[in-house]
Amino acid sequence: MDITFEKVGYTYQKGTPFESRALYDIDLMIKEGSYTALVGHTGSGKSTLLQHLNALSKPTEGTVKIGDRVITSQTDNKNLKNIRKKVGIVFQFPEAQLFEETIARDIAFGPKNFGASEEEGKEIAKRMLPLVGLDESFMERSPFDLSGGQMRRVAIAGVLAMDPEVLVLDEPTAGLDPQGRKEMMEMFFGLHQQQNMTIVLVTHQMDDVANYADHMIILEKGTVVKQGEPREIFQDAEWLESKQLGVPAAVAFAGRLEKRLNRSFAKLPLTTAELAEQIAAWLPNLPKQTAQEKGGEDR
């Protein structure tokens, strides 16, 4: 299922003295099976845009197509349930929305709303826990006895329990420690690779964009100022710096090294693994890497 925006605009409290325009003139496409990173400064409209991906907000101008459903300002609010099921959104700090007495019940809340029985709900919760790195022993515990990172995992399990085709993540690693961040990013990438889940990730971490995303959309003051493949966008490090958006660590390092040595890399390295490979290619007579040394990406 693709999601397409055509000339989308959104104004909060339209038609009142308090109206304020948050999005305008947005054309974009989230392709089925892609991993899209959405970046931009605070207030640029990222969270507002996300709410259009499952018709939680309807555009005040233009059209959003979610699969074969067409959403405009005229669309009525009936029959949107199915879209909400297909496109799961993990909002910022989702742990704040936990409320059930047990973790199993919290995870099963969505499926039960869609008609799953008590037993089916339990089964689903049991299947979701390992996906988010927790085990069955958590089922009957209270979500409020967990660490912040664990609570967030439970909240994410609740979104995954709906078996979405598209998973939308609004700064999912904010406030986590480095290990927790890495585990969570790996978990999302696993879902993307193993289940071909379409991912839309809002992030300020350019290293995450370089490591995981195949498409990148940059928002500024409510509109798209650039979109494309991360590798192409990161080529123009100067433009990104001028927008105070930064570049992945490997790109910054490569740029400095190119200046210092007065030579250019054949291909822009996006990750430290690519950077190491390309520097090694400059050094003559280096013994070949063993498979073990090679490892993978920065991940």
- Kindly list the residues in this chain that would bind ligand ADP in the complex (CB under 6 A): 12, 20, 22, 40, 42-48
CB-wise, 49 or 213, nearer to Mg ion?
49
Query: Of ligand ADP, Mg ion, none, which one sits near residue 44, judging by CB under 5 to 8 A according to partner kind?
Result: ligand ADP
Distances 232 to 41, 107, 210, 268 between C-alpha atoms, Å: 20, 39, 11, 9
* Token pair 């009957």: residue: 140
Neighbours of 181 (CB within 10 A): 17
Residues 208-237 that bind Mg ion (CB under 5 A): none
220: left (phi over 0), alpha (psi -120 to 50) or beta: beta
Q: Is 51 in the site for Mg ion (CB under 5 A)?
A: no
Give the distance, in angstroms, between the CA of residue 87 and the centroid of all CA atoms in the same chain: 12
Distance CA 183, CA 142 (A): 23
Q: Is 272 in the site for Mg ion (CB under 5 A)?
A: no
Give the distance, in angstroms, between the CA of residue 105 and the centroid of all CA atoms in the same chain: 26
Q: Is 47 in the site for Mg ion (CB under 5 A)?
A: yes
DSSP letter for each residue of 62-101? EEEEETTEEE-TT--STT-HHHHHHEEEE-SSGGGG--SS
Query: Of Mg ion, ligand ADP, none, which one sits near residue 110, judging by CB under 5 to 8 A according to partner kind?
Result: none
* Token pair 């693994």: residue: 273
Tokens of 164: 């979405």
Distance CA 281, CA 286 (A): 8
DSSP-assigned letter for residue 287: P
CB-wise, 46 or 215, nearer to ligand ADP?
46
Smallest distance from the beta carbon of 128 to ligand ADP, in angstroms?
27
CB-wise, 47 or 235, nearer to Mg ion?
47
Tokens of 118: 């008590």
Smallest distance from the beta carbon of 47 to Mg ion, in angstroms?
3
CB-wise, 46 or 52, nearer to Mg ion?
46
Smallest distance from the beta carbon of 20 to ligand ADP, in angstroms?
5
Smallest distance from the beta carbon of 202 to ligand ADP, in angstroms?
7
Query: Of Mg ion, ligand ADP, none, which one sits near residue 72, judging by CB under 5 to 8 A according to partner kind?
Result: none
Smallest distance from the beta carbon of 113 to ligand ADP, in angstroms?
25
CB-wise, 38 or 103, nearer to ligand ADP?
38
CB-wise, 56 or 273, nearer to ligand ADP?
56
Smallest distance from the beta carbon of 215 to ligand ADP, in angstroms?
18
Helix axes 272-282, 249-261, angle to 10 degrees: 20
Closest by CA position to 151, among listed 190, 112, 100:
100
Residues 27-46 that bind Mg ion (CB under 5 A): 46
CB-wise, 21 or 122, nearer to ligand ADP?
21
* Interface with Mg ion (CB under 5 A): 46-47
